[in-house]
């Protein structure tokens, strides 16, 4: 059963007027569901490709599903990137999920045609597939590099903001600790800053002098406090610093590494401004690139689907390779009825399939040469017509 969250791409042998078939199907689908809009079905113009040999078609038929899966993944990753950039705002996302600045439905359902300018049909099917794979790989690689650069900038900004707004165990102390809070110009002793969890302050006060040798008695002074921590300064002998730090860690007291500088506050603010500007610029670049690459990747994806439709149609119906394509966007509530109407309309094709027909016992009866070498092609859902799906990317 095809998904009710996808647009169905269908091919069948063209036995008559394609426009007449489209009108007939539109009428039948509208009849079986009064809410089925006529804009939810459109013609798919299938080119006359260079067919090649049977072996080459079978080989390509086995290769294409792998590419299809990879293409689906690339398109999905671009959509997820856009979704994250836009804070999961579906309405904004829909404004960027466009094909040449038009909605997806317009691209798929309004007289879709093969892009001859970019993918000329004078080449063989294998060469065209390789060209599509190369293009999609390039898009994916560019997206990976740009996304990685943005994530690095975003992480750097988050780290700097954490220093500005975090609790006393992580935030910058430049605007909290003054020069008068620290022991100055002592050869043997130094001030140590320690962030103590609120629930351990009493333990700190009663134990800090004994955490290690050479801690100056009664030297602990509270400098600041927030919801989670209290910041203390304490004086220890320099030779005891490493031992004192280790004992603090064992007791869940956090020693803050801090060197006073009169210019530090402005330096940190400038670093934050620079990081914020870099993140915003990369966000804008990534958003624009994702929008462009989605349009490109989606078109490449659909062209690959059309090659799959063509290859499967030739294997199933044979030559001459003259097929009509239809794109249908089913309504979720009437998906089964839509599929049933299509099956009834194309039921006459079941006797024309050259590939195989399923037996009542669940097996397959087919040309023995075909079955022997290409059994894997039988493991798929079978309709009288050929059907592949384009998942809806915005839900």
pLDDT given at position 162: 84
Q: State mean pLDDT over 29-54.
A: 81
pLDDT at 394: 58
First to last CA, the chain: 20
Boundary-marking domain end, from 239, 260, 281: 260
Question: Quick check: is 171 in a domain?
Answer: no
The answer to whether position 321 is within a domain reads: yes
Residues 118 and 223 in one domain: no
Co-location of 121 and 31 in the same domain: yes
Q: Are residues 129 and 12 in the same domain?
A: yes
- Per the domain annotation, does 170 fall within a domain? no
> What domain range is 224 assigned to?
179-260
User: What integer best gives the mean pLDDT of the chain?
Assistant: 87
- 13/11 Cα distance (integer angstroms): 7
- Give the per-residue pLDDT at 35: 63
SS3 assignment for 293-317: HHHHHHHHHHHHHHHHHHHHHHHHH
pLDDT of residue 265: 79
- What mean pLDDT comes out for the span 305-316? 94
Residue 343's SS3 state is: helix
Residues 120, 36 within the same domain: yes
63 Cβ neighbours under 8 A, 6+ residues apart: 129
* Choice among 28-42, 65-79, 143-157, 207-221 with the minimum mean pLDDT: 28-42
Residues, the chain, total?
395
> Under 8 Å CB-to-CB from 91, ≥6 apart: which residues?
none
Structure tokens belonging to residue 98: 């466009």
Question: What is residue 370's predicted lDDT score, i.e. its pLDDT?
Answer: 43
Are 301 and 352 members of one domain? yes
pLDDT in tens, 337-359: 888 888 888 888 876 655 444 43
Residues 348 and 305 in one domain: yes
Instruction: Out of 260, 280, 312, pick the residue that ends a domain.
Output: 260
Residue 35 is assigned to a structural domain of this protein: yes
- Per-residue confidence (pLDDT) for residue 25, from 0 to 100: 83
d(CA 286, CA 153): 12
User: For strand 254-256 and strand 323-328, is the pairing parallel, antiparallel, or unpaired?
Assistant: unpaired
Same domain, 10 and 94: yes
Over residues 192-234, the pLDDT tens digits come to 999 999 999 999 999 999 999 999 999 999 999 999 999 999 9
The enclosing domain of 63 has a CATH number of 1.20.1460.10
pLDDT of residue 66: 96
C-alpha atoms less than 13 angstroms from C-alpha of 288 in its C-beta half-sphere: 6
What is this structure's pTM? 0.78
- What total of structural domains would you count in the chain? 2
Is the CB of residue 315 less than 8 Å from the CB of residue 355?
Answer: yes
Q: With a cut of 60, say whether residue 252 has pLDDT above it.
A: yes
Q: Where are the beta strands (DSSP E) in the chain?
A: 6-13, 41-44, 189-197, 221-225, 229-237, 254-256, 323-328, 357-358, 364-365, 386-391
DSSP 43-71: EE-----B---HHHHHHHHHHHHHHHHHH
Average pLDDT score over residue span 72-76: 96
Is the pLDDT score of 175 beyond 90? Answer: no
Do 250 and 355 lie in one domain? The reply is: no
Considering the domain boundaries, does residue 297 fall inside one?
yes
Q: Is residue 123 part of a domain?
A: yes
Question: What is the structure's pLDDT at 395?
Answer: 45
Beta pairing class for 229-237 and 189-197: antiparallel
Strands across the sheet containing 386-391: 41-44, 323-328, 6-13, 386-391
Q: What confidence score (pLDDT) does residue 128 get?
A: 95
Query: Which residue from 125, 67, 91 is spatially nearest to 321, judged by alpha carbons?
Result: 125
Judgement on whether residues 322 and 375 belong to the same structural domain of the protein = yes
38, 117: one domain: yes
Are 15 and 125 found together in one domain? yes
Q: Is residue 159 part of a domain?
A: no
Please give the torsion angle defined by the CA atoms of residues 87, 331, 2 and 116, in that order, rounded to the nearest 10 degrees.
-80
**Counting Cβ atoms within 10 Å, is residue 189 exposed (0-12), middle (13-18) or buried (19+)?**
middle
314 part of a folded domain: yes
Last residue of one domain, picked from the residues 242, 260, 278: 260
| Inter-CA distances, 303 with 44, 114, 121, 307, 333, Å | 11, 7, 12, 6, 29
Q: Are residues 87 and 130 in the same domain?
A: yes
Give the confidence band of 372 by pLDDT, cuts at 50, 70, 90.
very low
User: Hey, what are 332's tokens?
Assistant: 């979720």
Q: Is the pLDDT of residue 122 over 50?
A: yes
Question: What is the percent of the chain where pLDDT is above 90?
Answer: 60
Tokens representing residue 115 in the block: 């892009």
CATH number at residue 196: 3.30.70.100
Please report the pLDDT score of residue 346 as a whole number: 84
């Amino acid at each position: 059963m095809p998904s009710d969250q996808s647009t169905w791409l269908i091919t069948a042998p063209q036995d008559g007027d394609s426009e007449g078939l489209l009108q007939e199907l539109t009428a039948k689908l509208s009849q079986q569901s009064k809410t089925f809009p006529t804009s939810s079905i459109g013609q798919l113009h299938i080119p006359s490709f260079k067919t090649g040999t049977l072996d080459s078609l079978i080989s390509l038929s086995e290769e294409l599903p792998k590419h299809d899966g990879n293409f689906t993944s690339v398109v999905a990753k671009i959509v997820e990137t856009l979704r994250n950039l836009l804070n999961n705002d579906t309405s904004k996302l829909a404004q960027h999920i466009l094909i040449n600045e038009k909605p997806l439905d317009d691209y798929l359902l309004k007289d879709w045609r093969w892009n001859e300018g970019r993918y000329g049909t004078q080449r063989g099917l294998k060469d065209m597939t390789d060209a599509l794979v190369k293009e999609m790989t390039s898009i994916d690689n560019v997206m990976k590099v740009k996304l990685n650069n943005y994530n690095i900038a975003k992480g750097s900004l988050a780290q700097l903001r954490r220093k500005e707004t975090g609790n006393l165990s992580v935030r910058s102390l430049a605007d909290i600790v003054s020069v008068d809070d620290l022991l100055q110009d002592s050869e043997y002793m130094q001030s140590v800053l320690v962030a103590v969890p609120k629930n351990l302050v009493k333990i700190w006060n009663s134990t800090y002098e004994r955490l290690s040798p050479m801690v100056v008695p009664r030297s602990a002074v509270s400098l600041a406090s927030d919801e989670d921590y209290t910041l203390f300064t304490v004086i220890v002998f320099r030779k005891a610093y490493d031992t004192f730090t280790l004992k603090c860690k064992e007791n869940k007291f956090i020693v803050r590494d801090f060197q006073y500088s009169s210019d530090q506050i402005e330096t940190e603010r400038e670093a934050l401004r620079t990081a914020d500007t870099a993140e915003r610029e990369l966000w804008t670049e990534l958003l624009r690139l994702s929008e462009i690459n989605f349009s490109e990747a989606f078109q490449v994806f659909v062209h690959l689907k059309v090659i799959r439709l063509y290859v499967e149609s030739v294997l199933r119906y044979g030559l001459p390779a003259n097929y009509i394509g239809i794109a249908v966007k089913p309504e979720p509530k009437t998906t089964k009825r839509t599929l049933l109407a299509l099956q009834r309309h194309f039921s006459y094709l079941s006797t024309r399939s050259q590939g195989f027909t399923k037996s009542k016992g669940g097996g397959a009866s087919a040309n023995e040469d075909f079955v022997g070498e290409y059994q894997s092609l039988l493991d798929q859902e079978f309709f009288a017509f050929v059907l592949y799906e384009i998942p809806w990317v915005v839900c």
